Amino acid sequence: STPNAPEDDAPNRYSRTDRTTCSRYGRDASSSGSSLPSNTLEKTIEELERELAKERQENARLMKMTQDKEELIGKLKEEIDLLNR
């Protein structure tokens, strides 16, 4: 359960960052007269959010694989100890 602790904090950290980033880009685009329309920025933000979701899924999958392998290693060590006795 310990490896999951950082993962629990991640959505909160990213959501704060996303909100800050979105509002900063929104101000920059409107105040500086940027050539990028807000529609393009929204699409870019949506693409980044999709990419972030995919990366989080991949991270969760890799964490599960690591936990499964660690459990298997533990069981194999126990079996080796029994065989050595």
Structure confidence by residue, pLDDT tens digits, 36-84? 688 888 889 999 999 999 999 999 999 999 999 999 999 999 999 999 9
Query: Could you identify the residue written with the tokens 């999958």?
Result: 61
The pLDDT of residue 2: 47
Q: Name the pLDDT band for 5 (thresholds 50, 70, 90).
A: very low
**Where are the chain's structural domains?**
37-84
The pLDDT of residue 81: 97
Rounded to whole angstroms, how far apart are CA atoms 22 and 14? 12
Rounded to whole angstroms, how far apart are CA atoms 12 and 7? 10
Rounded to whole angstroms, how far apart are CA atoms 69 and 73? 6
b/e sequence 22-43, b meaning 16+ C-beta within 10 Å: eeebeeebeeeeeeeeeeebee
Report the predicted TM-score, pTM, of the whole model to 2 decimal places.
0.50
